[in-house]
Each structure stands twice: as C-alpha cells, then as structure tokens.
A and B are shown apart, each in its own frame.
Chain A
Amino acid sequence: MQLMNEGTVARVVGWEKGEGECDWTPALFESVQEMDGFVYGDYAGANLSKYCVKMNKAEGKTLVVLKPCDTLSFRQLIHEHRLNRDNFYLIGAGCKGMKDESGLLLKCKTCKGKDFEIFDEIIDDEESKQPTAIMDRMEGVTALENETAQERFDFWRNELSRCIRCNACRNVCPACTCEKCVFDNPASSVASKAPVTDFEENVFHIIRAFHVAGRCTDCGECSRVCPQHIPLHLLNRKFIKDMNELYGEYQAGVGEEERTPMTTYTKTDAEPSIVRERGNA
C-alpha cells in the first residue's frame, strides 16, 4: 500500500475474498482505497503469473504477489520474452500449502519447494518454509509407466473422454501465451468446437502437452481448473520425468539460462530409437 502511495507501483494483482470461505478470486487493485479488499492466505491457490502477460504493457509498474511455485512461471515467462522484468514489483509470499473446499490442493501435495526464484521482496515466516509435499511428485507417472501400453491407452481414453473443450486448461496455463491460439482460428482447419471423431479431444491434450514440454514448470493449474477432473498434470510430468532422465535434471523457470533441453543440441542427446526401447509396448 505504501508502494502505491509513493507511486512506485500503479496497481496490485492479488486476491480478494468472495461470498464463501474458500471463494477467493484473483483481483486487480488500482487505488489505495481498493486495497481494503486485499487478502492473502490459505485459498490463494491461483497462479497469478499468467495475468502478468496482460499487465505487461500497462502504464507504470504492477505489483504481483507470487508464491514460490508461481515465481518459476514468472521467470519462465521472462525467458520467453513475454514479460519485461522492469514492469513488475514482485512480492514473494510464503506459502503453507493452498487449499480448496476439499482440503490441500493436489499441486501442493506434491510441492516442489519453498524457494523464490525471482522477487523484489519476500514476506514469509518460519512455518511457510516447512515442506508441504506429502507424496512423491512422480508417483502417478511411475504407476502409469508400469502398466502395459494397452492399459495406459485405456486409462487416457477414459480420462480424456470427459473433456468438454472448455479450454480452461489452456487459458490458465502460463506456458500457453500465444496471442492467437491455432485452435481459436476458424481458418486453421483444426479449430473445432465439435470433435469429428471421438479421438479429437485426446489429440488436443497430447499436442498441448508437447507444445509446453520443456517450458512447463509443473505449476499444476491445468488439473486444478479442469471442471471435468482430468489429471492433465500427469501428461506434463511424464515429459518432465523423461527429460530429467534423458537430458539431466532440469526445472523450467529456474536460473538465468535461457537454453533448455528441448532447444539445445548436444552430442549425447538421446537418439529417436529410445522411443522403441522405452515404449514398453
């Protein structure tokens, strides 16, 4: 609030309470008076990094509140030249694990850590430095890997059959920031509001996972927002796990380095034949 008074920042992106206890919404505050409604706490689950793309061209600095995992997305967006660091004032906010009506969020159950990758100022306490992960992040992926190809196929066919193509997963994803998505372009021949075959939704999600591979920080928003409860994060994590195994440990959104496993060639890179060997078909 002081920063706003001093004119350091022109606006704040944070959260606002709604009607119910868990009913928190990302909100824009443009004046000190409005800041009365600002909240931060247990139900601030949404990743605000994506909203920054909209704010990037706004006049003056925007103050954004980011949780540790959100800072990875923010950094990744800088790497991709979607955000200009100078346009933002970043508050790193300590996180004790976020919740919704049914308890700890799935993404927090597999929390990646409490370090802030990028910030101007950190507000946290001892409790918010304690780990919140209660299960192994790759547990679900490993379980699927141990199944036969047919079982995996059946699993995904069933999960993806629920897709209603609302596009919430794409729209919330900080790695999906194309100004015009190919699936929104009626002239692209792939924009479809109805599937021609019952495989089309499946392909949409698989293609999307490929497009964000190497850039996805595993922020978990896709699965959180899916109204049809499709475990989309498992697709992304499979890519992350494979990349870690084939190209060495890598976390998108960490460090200054802009070159990533998927955009860098080295002589030790895996050969295409690896697909057959690892396919477990």
Chain B
Amino acid sequence: MTYQFPKANAEAIVKGISRAVYAPVEKDGLTSFERYEAGMNLALDTIPTDKSMKDVFFPQWENLMHFRVEGKTIELTEEERCHQDFVIFGARACDIQAVKVLDKVFLADPVDSYYASRREHCTLVALACDKPEDSCFCKNFGADPASPDADVTLYPVGDDYYVQTNTEKGEALVKEWNLDKAEEGPVEWLKGEIGKKYEELPFAHLNLKGFDGEHLKEKFDSPKWKKLSMACLGCGSCTFACPTCQCYDIRDYDTGNGVQRYRCWDSCMYSDFTLMAAGTPRPHQLERYRQRFMHKLVYFPANNDGMYSCVGCGRCIKKCPMHLHIVKVIKALGEEESK
C-alpha cells in the first residue's frame, strides 16, 4: 500500500511510535543512530550518517554475562536478550545491505543470540536516497538506493514522504500513523530520478572482475599492497565507521566479587588483533591493511556465494584521515586484472 505524509510531520510520527525508536540524530556535527528522545535533532537527510546502523544490532560495547563467586560456587547471570519490539526509522539501502552481511556472520550456526534477538524484534523503516553523495557506490554491491529492502520504505518527494509498506510488520506499524492513502506515481518517478542521479556518481560502476575466490592468491601476492598501505596509520576509524566490520573481542573485567564478561569491537588494523601466545600473524601494517580489504572483497564472497562485505556506503572515503579507502584498492588491484 502507498500512503503519504508531509515531511514536517516526521518528528511527530517518530515521537508517536509506541515502541523504542532508533533514528539518525545529529549532535555536535556528527550523526549516528541513537535511541530517539524528545529534543534530539533528527537528521533524516544525512547520507551517510557518520556512524552506521550497525551500532543498533551490534553495539560497540555490550555485557554478555556476569560470574559471581560465593564461597565455592560460581553463579552465572546471563545478560538479558532484547525482548521488546523496536523500530529503526531512516535506514539507508547501504546499511540494510550491511545487515544482510552481518546476518551471514551472526545468524549462521552457532547463532549469536544477542544479535539475533535484536534482529527479530526490529521493524525497519527505510529512506530512499534522493540525494546520494559523490562518495556513494552502493549499487556495485547489491544495494539499491531507490528501493531499500525494509518493512516500510519512505520516498521523499517535494515536501512529502510517500510511504510504501512491504511486509505485514510494516503494514501494522504504518496503521498506527493514520496516514492518507496516496498514488504510486510519485514513488515511481522518484525511483527513476534516483536511478539517473546514481549513474552520474563518480564510483557508480567499479570493475570488480577478479575479486573472487578464484584469484585469491594473485590478489594476496600483489606487490601493490606495499604502496597502498604505506600511509595507513593503523587507527581503527575505517573499521569503526564501516557498517559491515564485525570483528569483536571478548574480555573479562574483575568486578571485585566476580567477573563481568563483555564484548567490544575489535579492529584488524590494531597490532594486538588476533594476538596469540606465539605472537601476531600480521606483524606489519601492510598485512593488516591487506587483511581488511581481502576479507571484504575476496574471502567473504568466496565463502558466501559471491556476496561482498563492502556495501558501498562510502564512509571509509569520508573518514580515513589519510584518504585511503576501498575504491583506491579496487581500482589499483582491478587494473592489474585487466592487464
């Protein structure tokens, strides 16, 4: 079904949702998906947000369980899983594609119940990208900025949002909003416009030929990694901004009478990543840098029926302090392929 409401009502709609809502909000010039509360500054026009939607399903830090030692017994209390429905309002196609990538990792056997419970209770409201940035290249990786795959999709046309429901979950949510029904025409028009705008973007079509399991060794051994990785500071900005980077570490904190076990994001850019008794398997930044891109463009698709774990959101282009990013890698190693 197609509905319609004025853009000016967006805030009222978000406020009116009876469940918890996570939405892009702006604070101190930075945008991220936060639990919306009255007074926050909604940033529904920002593409892409500084921090991605990943944070909602897979937070940077979360407690897993607590061990309490009493005499000779150890009492284990597991952290409660998400058990209440919530809404994400304003998701973009790239971030939604990223969640599909995360699903492959966290919902595969053994299922990560912390992640899975959040996925299960979420209703996704997406926004079509009417103004993609020059740094956007999502279509290369299976996302469609004109038709994000969600329970509900909002299409910004003029001063209105046109609303399309794609699932029963979505239909139930939109029912609460009491919207006027609308024609599908403007939605189809906008889809066409977005398609045209996307074609004009500098990275609209990247040559991904050769980024697959078949050419693994060739890519791995490329002499170009040295130059590509030289300027890398080994900071974790790219991995923390990336909507698909999913590596984490599990650590224990001594609370005095027990242990709090938590997990936190880790980054393959760090020297202590996958540190073992025998040392680190990737002693230099070159190997760490190569790992990140090989994982996104070669290992992940080789293990997941060709699905890349880059979604073309462009955050690494915007965030790297040294302007290193995945497009440079694709172009440098892709050229090698065509020779």
Residues of A that sit less than 8 Å from B by CB: 18-20, 22-28, 30, 34, 46, 51, 158-159, 162, 164-168, 170-172, 180, 184-186, 191-196, 224-229
B202-229 contact mask (Cβ, 8 Å, vs A): 1 or 0: 1100000000000000000000001100
Nearest Cβ in chain B — how far from A238, in angstroms?
A: 20
Name the residue on B nearest A185 (C-beta). B272
Ranked 6 nearest A-B pairs via Cβ: A225-B321, A168-B235, A194-B264, A26-B231, A171-B233, A194-B61
27 examples of A-B residue contacts, CB within 8 angstroms: A18-B323, A18-B328, A19-B327, A23-B317, A24-B323, A25-B231, A25-B322, A27-B230, A27-B231, A28-B230, A30-B227, A34-B227, A46-B231, A46-B322, A162-B28, A164-B236, A166-B235, A166-B267, A172-B235, A185-B272, A191-B272, A193-B264, A194-B61, A195-B61, A225-B235, A225-B237, A227-B240
A193-B249 contact, Cβ under 8 Å, with A19-B202, A186-B275: yes
Q: How large is the interface on B (under 10, 10 to 19, 20 to 34, 35 or more residues)?
A: 35 or more
Interface residue ranges of B226-283 to A (CB < 8 Å): 226-227, 230-231, 233-237, 240-241, 249, 251, 253, 262, 264-267, 270-272, 275
Nearest Cβ in chain B — how far from A59, in angstroms?
A: 15
CA distance A131 to B236 in the complex (A): 35
Is B30 an interface residue when CB atoms closer than 8 A count as contact? yes
Q: Are A172 and B321 in contact (CB under 8 A)?
A: yes
Name the residue on A nearest B236 (C-beta). A166
- Residues on the B chain within 8 Å of A27, using CB: 227, 230-231
- Residues on the B chain within 8 Å of A158, using CB: 28
A186-B272 contact, Cβ under 8 Å, with A23-B323, A229-B28: yes
Q: Are A28 and B237 in contact (CB under 8 A)?
A: no
- Residues on the A chain within 8 Å of B240, using CB: 164, 166, 227
B174-187 contact mask (Cβ, 8 Å, vs A): 1 or 0: 00000000000000
Contact of A184 among B203, B249, B264, B271 (CB under 8 A): B271
**Interface of B, helix, strand, loop or mixed by DSSP:** loop
Name the residue on A nearest B263 (C-beta). A194
- Residues on the B chain within 8 Å of A191, using CB: 272
- Residues on the A chain within 8 Å of B331, using CB: 19
CA distance A194 to B230 in the complex (A): 28
- Residues on the A chain within 8 Å of B241, using CB: 227
Nearest Cβ in chain A — how far from B260, in angstroms?
A: 9
Q: Are B237 and A229 in contact (CB under 8 A)?
A: no
Nearest Cβ in chain B — how far from A10, in angstroms?
A: 14
In addition to A19-B328, A25-B328, A172-B233, 5 A-B residue pairs with Cβ atoms within 8 Å of each other are A164-B60, A194-B264, A225-B235, A227-B319, A229-B30
- Residues on the A chain within 8 Å of B39, using CB: none
- Residues on the A chain within 8 Å of B28, using CB: 158-159, 162, 229
Interface residue ranges of B311-328 to A (CB < 8 Å): 317, 319, 321-324, 327-328
- Residues on the B chain within 8 Å of A186, using CB: 272, 275
CA distance A253 to B231 in the complex (A): 23
CA distance A23 to B326 in the complex (A): 13
- Residues on the A chain within 8 Å of B319, using CB: 227
Is B50 an interface residue when CB atoms closer than 8 A count as contact? yes
- Residues on the A chain within 8 Å of B265, using CB: 193
Interface residue ranges of B137-196 to A (CB < 8 Å): none
Nearest Cβ in chain A — how far from B142, in angstroms?
A: 22
- Residues on the B chain within 8 Å of A165, using CB: 236
- Residues on the A chain within 8 Å of B71, using CB: none
Is B134 an interface residue when CB atoms closer than 8 A count as contact? yes
Nearest Cβ in chain B — how far from A54, in angstroms?
A: 8
Name the residue on B nearest A23 (C-beta). B323
- Residues on the A chain within 8 Å of B233, using CB: 168, 171-172, 225
Q: Are B321 and A26 in contact (CB under 8 A)?
A: no
